Every structure is written in C-alpha cells, then in structure tokens.
Amino acid sequence: MEFEVWWLLAIPVIFGLGWAASRFDVKSLLSESSNLPRSYFRGLNFLLNEQPDKAIDAFIEVAKLDPETTELHFALGSLFRRRGETERAIRVHQNLLSRDDLPVSEQEHALFDLGQDFLKAGLLDRAEEAFQRLQTGSFAKQAQHSVLAIYQIEKEWHKALECADRLAADGDGSSYEKEISQFHCELAQEALQRKDAAAASAEIEAALRVNPANVRAMLLRGDMLLHNGDPAGALAILSEVPRQNPTYVGFAAGRLMRAYEALGRTAEGIVHLRDMLSLHPSDDLAEVVFEKVMAQDGPDAAYAVVRDEMKRAPSVQSAVKLLTAHHEHASGSQQADLVMVREWLLQRTKNLPRYVCEQCGFRARFFYWQCPGCGGWETYVPRRADMPASS
C-alpha cells in the first residue's frame, strides 16, 4: 500500500474537528445542567444515598419550579401509586389535567394514570369514569382492559361480557374465549342460587359454545342433570372431564360416584375411579376412592388402595388416609399412637395454602376459578401443594 503525503495534512484536520465537537458537547452539557434546578441534583444525591423519601420531596420541588417537567410528574405519580400513596398520586395527575397547555397525548396519559390511581385506591366508580373517557387514542385499549377488570371486581358479569365482546371484536390478537366462557359460568352460578334452572342451563350452554373445553361448565351441567334426576346424562357429561383435562378428575370424582350410585352401579363406579387414579394421581380423587372402598370393601381393601397411592404419589393426604386405614388393625397403645400422629399431621397442614396460581404464584387454601391475586382465570392447577416446609 503506497503512502500518500496528503494523509499527513488530513490527520491534524480530523483531530481538530474532533476536539471542536467535544468542546461543543461539553459546553452544551454544561449549559443544560446550569438550567436544571438545584432541587434536581439534591434529589439525585438523595437517591444515590438511598434516601427515597427525601428524594421524592426534592423532585416534587423541581416539578413545582418547572411546569414543563411533565415526565417527572408522571414518574412521581407512578411512584406514589406503587408505594400505596394513592392520594398523592391522584393529586399529581389531577394537577396535570388542570393545565390548559398540556398536549392531547399527555392529557390522555394523565387521565389513564388517574384511573389507575382510583383503581388502586378502591374508588371503582371514579376509576371507571376516567377510563370510559378514553374511548379513542393510544390509551383506549388499555383503558378498556381496566374497565373489564373493574366489572369483574364488581361481579357485573353482563357488563363484563359486553366489554370482553367489544375487545374481542377490536381484533387486538388476544383471545377472550376463556374469560367469556367463565363469565357465563358465573351467571349460571347466580341463576342456580336463585333457583332459576332455565337461565342456568342457558348460561351453561353458552359457556360451552364459547369454550367446549370449559371443565367448570361441564361440572355445572353434571350437577344440574343430577339434580334433575338424570344420572345417566350426568355420567355421560362427567366422563368427558378426564379426556378434556385430566388434572380436574378430582373435581368430577364425587359427582361421578353419585351418578353411578343413583344408577345402582356402585361397584362399577369404584373400578372406574380406581382406573382413573392409576392414570391421573390426585389427592381429591384418592379421597373419594378411599372413602368408597372403605365403605364397600372394608379397611383391608382401603389400606391397599392408599398404600399403592402413597408409593406412587406421596402426599400428606395419602399419609393421613394410610394411618386411618392402619388404625383399624391396630390395638391398644398402637391405636393411640396412630391417632396422635394423624392428628399432628392434620394440625400441621390444615392452615397451609393448598393451591398455587401458575400466573402470579398466589397461594390459597381453597381452589378458585379466578385467582384472587392477579385476576387470571383457570390459573390454579387443581393439584394440592400442601407439604409443609422443613423447619
């Protein structure tokens, strides 16, 4: 490669341009920094020294001194809401909305955040009013999702259905079949409570049309058929549960046995449930099988069932049933010891959360179709997680 003389001239020119650019950047940075209020730097210093309360006070002072700092207002409002200081968050966002010079996009942002403040504070009517004002714009979709959450909190299932239908029709790529089907199940439950069998049946059918794999709707239909004296129909629908979702077999077990017993086929029902237990281990299913075998065939057969279950899928419930069955053959002090151990196990586990939400990890003692923590539907696996932590 040949050396060109003009490169010697280019090098100092390039160096000079770089030096001038760096000087310009430094001057620009110094100029911008000199325009920032001193409170801003005090706030940063408090943050660096892990003094968040003092930092917040300093940033509030900045927001008061410089009305153009809308982003700082939004950041403060969100911070207050996360800390549970909803009154301060509401005040921040209301102050923003009171400004006449605020652009439309930032007005929508402030209104949406205000709705979130009201929702966090439990002021559902005011939250809904704020969200309903956002029919258009970049926050419209998020606002409608929040409205849907409010209707579910208020158990306004008809309104929730309408809102979910609108969201589904907007075609945002999300599927609301699970939610809509569950809303119909909620309406069916309400109809059953007021003894309106026709309305309950219609809602169950609607739930299954939207989501044919909705196990809850299948269980409700089985309950209605049993109540109406149609055990054969109940047996047919409930027998589909293991095929649709085998994790729910424990919920269908008791209903299946009632159908078999009503048809005079108890022994066949026990065999059916034992077959399901071998394929799909479940504490709820094992409990039904244990009770029925104990009543039908005696403690020896029940002991054999629960011993096999303990080997295959050990759990506290299986251990308790094993002790119960073994108690029948014990005598004297052995019986007392078995009772003591069984009661200790029951006492140790009775207050433990049994079910875990797969979406947020919320633990609960009882099964919920809708998680109390995150509001997700069908996020609880009907499989108990009740082994006590080692101490």
Report the distance separating Cα 308 and Cα 210, nearest Å: 40
Residues 6+ apart with CB under 8 A from 367: 354, 355, 380, 382
Burial state string for 338-369 with b = 16 or more CB within 10 A and e = fewer than 16? beeebeebeeebeeeebbbbeeeebeeeeebb
363: enclosing H helix or E strand: strand 363-364
Largest CA distance in the chain: 110
Report the distance separating Cα 273 and Cα 252, nearest Å: 10
Q: Is 371 annotated as a binding residue?
A: yes
Q: What are phi and psi of 332, to 5 degrees?
A: 60, -125
Q: Is 374 annotated as a binding residue?
A: yes
Give me 34's structure tokens. 């000199």
Q: Is 360 annotated as a binding residue?
A: yes
Check: CB of residue 74 under 8 Å from CB of residue 89. Answer: no
Q: Is 357 annotated as a binding residue?
A: yes
Residue set of the binding site: 357, 360, 371, 374
Binding residues for Fe cation: 357, 360, 371, 374
